[in-house]
Structure 1
Amino acid sequence: MATHYINKIGVLSLGKIFGALYGIIGLIAGALMTLMSLRMGSLMGNEGALVGLLFGVGSIIALPIFYGVLGFVSGIITALIFNVVAGFAGGLEIELD
């Protein structure tokens, strides 16, 4: 097994990865929010069901976008901080087979 060190991470590369991961998390959260809003809306009658439907559709569209953008930005910030710290600490040790 060879030991290697990661000394630098591509800023946009990590931003894209974090954005995709957080977008998937946002899709799951949006689906759960849709189910909850439809259930709660159906308990409030016809007007509540319409509001629940609109809120549910909005959340399954808005949450993945919102989470994805926040993930992209946090990935960029994380990569920038890692690159600075790795310069002082000597990098991240990994073993490859």
Structure 2
Amino acid sequence: MAKLKRIGVLSLAKLQAVLMAFVGLIAGISYAIMGATFASLAGSAGLGAGLGFLAIIIFPILYAIFGFIGGAIEAFLYNLVAGWVGGIEMDFEQQV
């Protein structure tokens, strides 16, 4: 049985930033579709399309920034707590 005693703070922060940027892109596309749909129903399609396009650009950037910060905090806290309780026990199977 192996134990995960430490996580690289920068490593997890980068991984979390990339994952959250992808989630932000999906959220931005969803926001753009819904915004354009509701704006066209209300009669102001230009505003809805503009805000939707902006969401596709801004959401992934914001999600990545907050994902990076969150990942760094998670790794730091894991390393702190793992020092007290000994880390996570994992069982690996080696392929031959």
Q: Smaller-chain TM-score range?
A: over 0.9
**1:25-64: CA deviation from partner (whole Å, max 9, x where unpaired):** 100000000000110111122xx10000100000000001
Q: Which has the higher strand share?
A: 1
1:83 to 79, 85, 91: 79
Identity, in percent, stands at 40
Cross-structure match for 1:12 = 10
RMSD between aligned alpha carbons?
0.6
Unaligned residue ranges in structure 1 (runs of 5+): none
Q: 2:36 aligns with which of 35, 38, 60?
A: 38
Give the aligned length. 93
Counterpart for residue 27 of structure 1: 25
Q: Normalising by structure 2, what TM-score?
A: 0.95
Q: Residue 91 of structure 1: CA displacement? A: 1.1
User: CA–CA distance in 1 between the matches of 2:70 and 2:40?
Assistant: 37
Q: What's the TM-score once normalised by structure 1's chain length?
A: 0.94
Moved over 2 A (4+): none
Structure 2 gap ranges (5+) = none
